[in-house]
């Protein structure tokens, strides 16, 4: 593929293959995504569908790994090949075209200039001519067709001027227009391909983060193996100054990791034994032994890269309108060029002058500017968002972000640090009756909560670890999102959860516990979060946990409010804890003690009122609300189910990135509109000018050479305007 129109042609051809329901083709990624009905379609059949139109699938019929690294390398190689081919053609065109122009200026024999210009058309312009002919043959004329027709018509007029009847001799100079058309077309392609290469740098940078080899311990010796061959559970050795090659947990060692390229967080993170690490981070001064959990394509950075690749190939809704217009654009230009030729020949009786105007119409029109207006902005914006530490699933997510007017945000782990600490432990009379001391209660709580992903549960595990309490994993563990967790420790059934869920459990047994209510009220009145523990369905402890608000939360929320968003806090935590955090952050609208279903229902209710809701959360209990929102935004440190449900992911739990990505989405929308306004406006003005719209007032009309320069510049302006998104984001 050589342009955006090629991608549209490939998409149409593949969609006609039996068994293919729909196709999405990304010109930038040089990749087609097929949605099939039934069994997989053989690559050879897909290749056959394309071969008649001059396209091919590299490696069709052979088994490739299909890895992201290979796909990105292929796209980069294809883009680089385009750039090199354009550069070679440009140098050849200049080598013959410049002497041709010089010979005309010096008054040399016109046959010399014609021969040099013919070399430009037949040699440097051959790839463009072939591509244009193929597009015309498949009845989908494109940019290459217009360039080819313009160049061939100009050289044909030049041949008539030199060798034809005397009345055509005045047109001999038109031969140089063919050379100028191709020189400017190739120059534009060369510059444009370089700009597109820069637009894809974000994806390549993510892929390059993960080393392809891992140094592992085998029988006490260090062995370097390909990353895909490293065994889960084995130990990877990472020395100072090296990148982490795997996802895993530090087994031995301590260091600081620079994760800026992954999360956008500039401060290094201290790690020690037990800390989770991700591939792509740069190790500091310590040597680490890492227990391997994910390698190769399964690492977080590989999943991030796949998300960026999918997003950069996605299509914004406005692209559907552009596609319909682009499909009719070239036929309309051909009709205008033919009408221009006939009209001016009839008006002036000068076939050479009429042909010059028709050639100018063909060359000045630029459908590629229309085709590139949206995709280049999407590629630049998604790459810029990734460098900020924000992933979006597709371009439509960015468009929906712009339209958002209400932000629903979870408390724990989103507005707060997500690292609550145990500040007090309150035993009940039932615990005292069983002779449970604080250590016994913490041991039971940690045994159950060590299997939980909730921050409040991790706080109890951390408290047990800090006190040196030994515990083992509970049996029959089960989590009920928004309600609690339970398991069996020895012969004791242990349940932990929110006060309202505990009350429901007791009520189901026909019990009421005034002492429990009193302890919960005391904890919540102090602005802390109470966690209740039941032992054999009897309340035995209330844990008092405190979670500080994130330092960046308040300024980020003020900025979001300044951008016009109404902010609602929805939390499953107790009222007192939610009220304390909301007051600290200056938020008036909040809800507490909400189940996951209630969170989702609240988001749905806001949408039914006509609001466009953005939801930010990090836990399992946020998944229904994330799915119900117009845009669900998961915090990257949260549960996998939240990340899978969300439309966007903040790779680092830092709300300060949210106003930035909203601003980026607005700039992307503005850039797309500007690109489309330029592409439409340019063609609406340039084509009539080329057809002679000013002839009633001025003798001036654009030449084919000037038209070629304008055409090349039109596409380049669109690409460079899109690249401003990446530069401003960085």
Q: Is 650 helix (H, G, I), strand (E, B) or coil?
A: strand
Residue partners of 426: CB distance under 8 A and separation at least 6: 519, 522, 523, 541, 542, 543, 544
Question: How many DSSP H helices and E strands does the chain contain?
Answer: 26, 24
Which residues pair with residue 529 across a beta bridge?
545
Taking the C-alpha atoms of residue 245 and residue 280, their distance in angstroms, rounded to an integer, is 6
Copy the structure tokens of residue 385.
């968002």
Long-range contacts (CB closer than 8 Å, 24 or more residues apart) made by 115-119? 116/179, 117/155, 117/158, 117/175, 117/176, 117/178, 117/179, 118/155, 118/175
The answer to whether 401 and 393 are in contact (CB under 8 A) is: no
Query: Collapsing DSSP states into helix, strand and coil, what is residue 293?
Result: strand
Cβ atoms < 10 Å from Cβ of 58: 11
Q: What is the DSSP letter of 57?
A: -
What interhelical angle do 657-691 and 318-348 show, nearest 10? 20
Dist CA 334 CA 343 (whole Å): 14
**How many CA atoms, within 13 angstroms, populate the side-chain half-sphere of residue 603?**
30
CB neighbour list of residue 216: distance below 8 Å, 6 or more residues apart: 222, 223, 224, 225, 230, 231, 234, 235, 236, 237, 292
Cα 726 to the center of its chain, rounded Å: 13
Write down how long the chain is: 730
Q: Would you say 315 and 371 are in contact if contact means Cβ atoms under 8 Å apart?
A: no
Q: Which of 430, 398, 414 is nearest to 513 (CA)?
A: 430
CA distance 451 to 447: 8
Q: Which helix (H) or strand (E) element contains residue 473?
A: none
- Which 3 state secondary structure label does DSSP give 594? coil
> Is 536 labeled as catalytic in the residue annotation?
no
Q: Cβ distance 460 to 445 under 8 Å? A: yes
Candidates 394, 410, 573, 647; catalytic one: 410
Categorise residue 368: left if φ over 0, alpha if ψ from -120 to 50, beta otherwise: alpha
Longest alpha-carbon distance in the chain: 119
Q: Which of 658, 656, 664 is nearest to 724 (CA)?
A: 664
Per DSSP, 174 falls in state G
The number of angstroms, rounded, from the C-alpha of 17 to the middle of its chain's C-alpha atoms is 29
**Cα-Cα-Cα-Cα dihedral of 7, 88, 380, 279, to 10°?**
100
Cα 196 from Cα 46, distance rounded (Å): 27
Q: The dihedral of CA 13, 66, 385, 610: what is its sign? A: positive
Give the alpha-carbon dihedral of 558, 564, 566, 572, to 10 degrees: -60
Q: What is the DSSP letter of 416?
A: B
DSSP 8-state code for residue 304: H
Burial class (CB in 10 A: 0-12, 13-18, 19+), 174: buried
Can you read off the two tokens belonging to residue 360?
A: 């100018």
Catalytic residues: 410
């Amino acid at each position: 593929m050589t342009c955006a129109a090629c991608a549209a042609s490939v998409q149409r051809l593949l969609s006609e293959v039996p068994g293919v329901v729909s196709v999405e083709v990304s010109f930038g990624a040089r990749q087609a995504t097929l949605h099939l009905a039934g069994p997989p379609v053989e690559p050879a059949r897909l290749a056959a569908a394309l071969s008649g139109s001059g396209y091919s699938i590299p490696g069709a019929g052979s088994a490739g790994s299909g890895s992201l690294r290979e796909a990105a390398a292929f796209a980069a190689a294809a883009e680089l090949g385009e750039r090199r081919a354009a550069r070679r053609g440009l140098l050849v065109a200049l080598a013959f075209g410049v002497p041709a122009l010089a010979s005309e200026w010096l008054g040399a024999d016109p046959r010399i200039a014609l021969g040099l210009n013919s070399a430009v058309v037949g040699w440097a312009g051959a790839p463009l001519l072939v591509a244009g002919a193929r597009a015309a043959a498949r009845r989908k004329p494109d940019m290459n067709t217009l360039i080819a027709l313009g160049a061939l018509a100009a050289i044909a007029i030049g041949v008539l001027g030199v060798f034809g009847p005397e009345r055509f001799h005045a047109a001999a100079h038109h031969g140089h227009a063919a050379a100028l058309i191709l020189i400017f077309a190739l120059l534009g392609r060369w510059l444009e391909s370089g700009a597109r290469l820069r637009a894809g740098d974000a994806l390549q940078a993510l892929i390059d983060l993960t080393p392809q080899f891992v140094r592992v311990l085998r029988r006490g010796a260090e062995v370097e193996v390909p990353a895909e061959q490293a065994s889960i559970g084995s130990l990877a050795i990472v020395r100072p100054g090296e990148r982490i090659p795997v996802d895993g947990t530090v087994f031995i060692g301590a260091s600081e990791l620079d994760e800026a390229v992954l999360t956008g967080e500039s401060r290094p993170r201290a790690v020690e034994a037990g800390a989770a690490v991700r591939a792509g981070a740069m190790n500091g001064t310590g040597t680490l032994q890492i227990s391997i959990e994910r390698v190769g394509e399964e690492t977080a950075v590989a999943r991030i890269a796949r998300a960026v690749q999918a997003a950069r190939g996605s299509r914004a809704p406005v692209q559907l309108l552009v596609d319909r217009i682009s499909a009719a654009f070239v036929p309309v230009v051909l009709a205008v060029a033919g009408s221009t030729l006939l009209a001016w020949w009839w008006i002036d009786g000068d076939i050479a002058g009429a042909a010059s105007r028709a050639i100018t119409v063909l060359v000045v029109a630029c459908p590629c500017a229309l085709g590139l207006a949206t995709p280049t902005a999407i590629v630049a914006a998604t790459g810029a968002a990734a460098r900020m530490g924000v992933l979006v699933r597709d371009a439509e997510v960015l468009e929906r972000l712009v339209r958002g007017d209400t932000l629903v945000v979870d408390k724990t782990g989103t507005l707060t640090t997500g690292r609550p600490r145990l500040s007090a432990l309150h035993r009940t009379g039932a615990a005292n009756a069983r002779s449970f001391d604080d250590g016994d209660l913490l041991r039971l709580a940690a045994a159950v909560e060590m299997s939980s992903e909730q921050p409040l549960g991790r706080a109890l595990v951390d408290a047990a670890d800090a006190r040196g309490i030994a515990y083992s994993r509970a049996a029959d563990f089960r989590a009920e999102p928004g309600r609690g967790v339970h398991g069996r420790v020895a012969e004791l059934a242990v349940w932990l959860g929110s006060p309202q869920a505990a009350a429901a459990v007791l009520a189901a047994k026909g019990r009421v516990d005034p002492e429990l209510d009193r302890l919960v009220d005391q904890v919540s009145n102090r602005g802390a979060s109470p966690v209740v523990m039941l032992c054999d369905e009897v309340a035995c402890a209330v844990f008092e946990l405190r979670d500080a608000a994130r330092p960046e939360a308040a300024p980020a929320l003020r900025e979001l409010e300044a951008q016009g968003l109404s902010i609602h806090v929805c939390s499953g935590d107790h009222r007192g804890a939610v009220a304390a955090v909301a007051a600290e952050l200056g938020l008036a609208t909040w809800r507490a003690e909400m189940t996951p279903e209630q969170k989702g229902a609240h988001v749905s209710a806001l949408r039914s009122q006509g609001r466009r809701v953005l939801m930010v959360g990090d836990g399992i209990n946020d998944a229904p609300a994330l799915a119900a929102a117009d845009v669900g935004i998961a915090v990257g440190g949260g549960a996998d189910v939240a990340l899978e449900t969300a439309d966007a992911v903040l790779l680092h739990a830092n709300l300060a990135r949210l106003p930035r990505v909203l601003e980026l989405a607005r700039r992307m929308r503005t850039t797309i509109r500007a690109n489309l306004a330029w592409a439409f406006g340019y063609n609406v003005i340039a084509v009539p000018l080329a057809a002679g719209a000013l002839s009633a007032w001025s003798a001036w009309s654009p030449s084919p050479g000037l038209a070629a320069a304008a055409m090349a510049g039109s596409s380049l302006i669109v690409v460079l305007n899109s690249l401003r998104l990446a530069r401003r984001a960085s």
